[in-house]
Amino acid sequence: MAERVQARDAEPVGETIHLPGPSYLPVVTAAGLAILVIGIVHSWFLVAAGALIALIAIVRWIRESRQEISELPLEH
């Protein structure tokens, strides 16, 4: 007859799933791109401001993602 294993004694099934933490950077990137596009019609100043906002947000987003990836265990 098979031996019963209690739930507390069993090993977890599958592997753990890594989910990135919450971030405001995608919203800031979208806002910067929106300002850039609106600036094409209205003013070169808005184009420059939107491009600067989007560029800074993209660089910070990439940096944040690389840091999270570097903290993962090697088997991933």
Identify the residue with better confidence: 71 or 63: 63
Asked whether residue 53 carries a pLDDT value surpassing 70, the answer given is yes
Asked whether residue 76 carries a pLDDT value surpassing 60, the answer given is no
Domain boundaries, the chain: 25-70
Q: What is the pLDDT of residues 30-50, one digit of tens each?
A: 999 999 999 999 999 999 999
Q: What is the pTM (predicted TM-score) of this model? A: 0.72
Residue 62, amino acid: I
23 and 31 Cβ atoms separated by less than 8 Å: no
Percentages (nearest 5) of helix, strand, coil residues in the chain? 60, 0, 40
Spell out the alpha helix ranges (H) of 1-76. 25-42, 44-70
Task: Report the pLDDT averaged over residues 16-31.
Answer: 88
